[in-house]
Structure 1
Amino acid sequence: MTGLRVALIASARHPITEPFAGGLEAHTWGLAHALIRRGHEVELFAAPGSDPALEARELPVRKVVLSSAARADASMPAGRWMEEHHAYLSLMLDLARDGEKRFDVVHNNSLHYLPVAMAPAVRIPVITTLHTPPTPWLESAIQTHEACPVLFTAVSEFTASAWHPVVPAARVVRNGIDTAFWQPGPGGSELVWSGRLVPEKAPHLAMRAARAAGVPLRIAGPISDERYFDEQVAPLLGDGITHVGHLDRHALAQLLATSAAALVTPSWDEPYGLVVAEALACGTPVCGFDRGALAEILTPDCGRLAPPGDVRALAALIPRVMELDRRDARRRAEDFCALDRTADAYTSLYEEVAR
């Protein structure tokens, strides 16, 4: 089948551009580029300010203009919630109007419920990727239909299992990273932690483990929760632990490639763990907590996992992980985490539903 016309729905909250707000934005950016390279026409729905180099038309996020009376109503939700709701409502109404004339398939990578709830109104196939553990809004949207017309994929076996009671037939298509970009490096003497600085990613636990192991640690990522950062992270900085800021991909790849090992310390059930794949591609073995899908990615050759939340056990594993062969880490990324595998799987899925 020749190239398909794909409507790719992304986050209306964060632009799809570097430095990425999180793994979801990084994944959507990489997938869009990979699909375009395969000859598909990709039209991206995303927040303003998304990467113009995607060569895909950015659909505007239509901001709602409410009257003072509506804003004063007791039912008025937070302004950001209302703007997101209005953006996705506008998009789905637009697709329902004449989407079948412009697209062959809709691929929803957002976390919003409306693309699922309104899928029956769209006269083209809708695919939704499950990127998170179950949420009440999305579960409700799925159950509004006797037979939900959406085809669901999940980013890991773990995530598919978590959604199984509501979505019993989700197909697993794991996220991937561009192994041609994330190149192996020589390693170094310091540890690295990367990601959003939020409680569910728990960088403070990585800081405690690094300090207990006596190994310096560099932390990279946006301060997405200022109160958490001020109360839990900032007091632990210094004495060999530094926050190097919110880095673009080039700077982050350099940081990973020159680190001895990567710490991954989720305090929630990680649906996939893009930071794990990025570290492995740079030849950097991973030491983390056994939560969510991390055990699907790591093998004993490229990483070790401690019981969830056990800082002492994590610290004890760090010296062993630093001794692992960096070539094995890179090999695991090439075999299991490559973006080409992800894009090929979605291309096959698009062709299947478009028939």
Structure 2
Amino acid sequence: MPPAPDPALRPLRIGLVAGLRFPVAQPFAGGLEAHTWSLARSLTAAGHEVVMYAHGDSDRSVATVVPVFAPPPVSAAARADIAAPPEHFLWEHRCMQQTMSRLLRDVDRLDLVHNNSLHYLPLAMAPLLGTRMVTTLHTPPNAWQEAGALDGALASRFLAVSRDVAERWSHVLGEVEVVGNGVDPLLWPAGPGGRDLVWSGRIVPEKAPHLAVRAARLLDRDVVLAGPVHDQRYFAEEVEPLLSDRVRYAGHLGVDALARLVGSSACALVTPCWDEPFGLVAAEAMLCGTPVAAFDRGGLRDVVGSRGGVLAAPDDVADLARAADRALAMDRRRVRSHALATLSVTAMAERYVQVYRAAA
């Protein structure tokens, strides 16, 4: 008679709260959506059931999607309130309020809830769920998140995506365990390299693709930019005037096209003008074997290290060009091997499952 299955190893039913502003689907609006998709996909592939509370256009092949419906517009009377917050704030608050109301109805059918959003309401409402919540901290605290974490600290287990994020939350939560983001090597295969440089990510001022263009000029190399334009004014004023035969904007690409672009590039430039919490674009480049030259800010030191690329002084374009020049000489096979050892999506998902089982 075969032994009874170990109940501690049974598949889990996980409620995954995503960011609600953008779909968890390709082409990804940013690193948060890419991370949520990869995690849901890996958990589902491992046999777990993932119920994802997310934008209605999210990818239903990676999870059961509970769509969040847009609330009605704010009335003219409410907008006339001189103390009213911006409308986008109210919209997102009301969407998350709907999500949490639905989650409260569903929670008895879930083993646990993973809050993978950036919103404060899941943190504040964690004590109402009756089951322990796991929260991934993707960013340093803001005033709303900090207040929510203080309200729900005893009802959630917190994880940070990098040591930098963990340290920035330590005054609220004490020591926070780090579980770094992971990348699927099948989706980001080894590439042949090339001569051009590449920059990818959300096109916004704090990601500063215009600084990547300046560094490329110092190196006398062409550069290709790729990513969604989230700040049209910044793109029009700071990026579009730089476009030329040697500076090309490839658009907002899906994973396959972006992986081909990154893998056929000589070096990836990563230019945050803020303390980047993790730096998923650096991890993606390294999986392709493409070395990274990045400003040494936030979690990029964890991601890139000394074997995935070269770090430069923050905001120093000349030093970034020097870092890229050194990175160009790195062995692409060793860069990918380092990424496989440290940035695997499988290892990330397995660590999350360990945390889930402890919480459940």
Q: TM-score range by the shorter chain?
A: over 0.9
| Residue 89 (str. 1) matches residue 101 (str. 2) | no
Q: Which residue of 1 aligns with 2:79?
A: 71
What CA deviation, in whole Å up to 9, does each residue of 1:68-123 have, x standing for no partner? 423333333333222211121122223334512x1011001110000000111111
- Kindly report which structure 2 residues correspond to 1:268-287, keeping only aligned pairs within 5 A, or say none: 268-287=274-293
Find the partner of 1:122 among 117, 129, 133: 129
Task: Work out whether residues 40 and 63 of structure 2, in 8 Å CA contact, stay in contact via their aligned partners in 1.
Answer: no
| One-letter code aligned to 2:274 | W
What SS does the corresponding residue of 1:182 show, helix, strand or coil?
coil
Between 10-19 and 91-100, the greater mean CA deviation after superposition: 91-100
One-letter amino acid of the counterpart of residue 123, structure 2: V
Q: Quote the Cα distance in structure 2 between the aligned partners of 1:136 and 1:55.
A: 32
Kindly tell me: are residues 339 and 98 of structure 1, through their superposed partners in 2, closer, same or farther at Cα, counting changes over 3 Å? Answer: closer
Is residue 133–residue 163 contact of structure 1 (8 Å, CA) maintained in 2?
yes
| Offset at residue 240 of structure 1 (A) | 0.9
Query: Where in structure 1 do 4 or more consecutive aligned residues deviate above 4 Å?
Result: none
Alpha-carbon distance in 2 for matches of 1:68, 1:235? 39
Distance (Å, rounded) in 2 between the aligned partners of 1:80 and 1:137: 15
Contact 2:291 2:335 in 1 (8 A): yes
Match of 1:6 in 2: 14
Structure 2 residues without counterparts, runs of 5 or longer: 1-8
Q: Output aligned runs, 1:36-185, within 5 Å.
A: 36-64=44-72, 66-100=74-108, 102-144=109-151, 148-185=154-191
2:312 alignment partner AA:
A
Deviation string, structure 1 residues 285-327 (Cα, Å, up to 9, x no partner):
0011111111112233331111001101111222221111000
Amino acid at match of 2:198: V
CA 1:240–1:66 in structure 2 vs 1: closer, same or farther (change >3 Å)?
closer
| Aligned residues of 1:62 and 1:90 also touching (Cα < 8 A) | no
What's the TM-score once normalised by structure 1's chain length? 0.96
Q: Distance in 2 between matches of 1:321 and 1:171?
A: 31
Q: How many residues were matched structurally?
A: 352
Aligned residues: CA RMSD: 1.4
Equivalent AA in structure 2 for residue 13 of structure 1 = R
Distance in 2 (CA, whole Å) between partners of 1:152 and 1:299 is 24
Alignment match, 1:342: 348
1:221 to 2:227 alignment: yes
Question: What residue in structure 2 maps to residue 30 of structure 1?
Answer: 38
CA distance in 1 between partners of 2:134 and 2:80 (Å): 37
TM-score normalised according to structure 2 size: 0.94
Corresponding residue for residue 23 of structure 2: 15
**Using the alignment, how far apart are the partners of 2:279 and 2:325 within structure 1?**
22
Give the 3 Å change call, closer, same or farther, for CA 327–129 of structure 1 in structure 2: same
Contact 2:52 2:63 in 1 (8 A): no
The separation in 2 between residues aligned to 1:198 and 1:225, in whole angstroms, is 5
In 2, Cα distance between equivalents of 1:55 and 1:27:
14
CA distance in structure 1 between the partners assigned to 2:345 and 2:310 by the alignment: 24
Contact 2:274 2:297 in 1 (8 A): yes
Q: What's the counterpart of residue 203 of structure 1?
A: 209
State the 1:338 CA deviation. Answer: 0.6
Structure 1 counterpart of 2:5: none
Deviation per CA, 1:42-66: give whole Å up to 9, x if none. Answer: 1111112111222413333351454
- Cα distance in 1 for residues equivalent to 2:130 and 2:213: 50
Residues 121 and 227 of structure 1: CA distance in aligned 2, closer, same or farther (over 3 Å): same
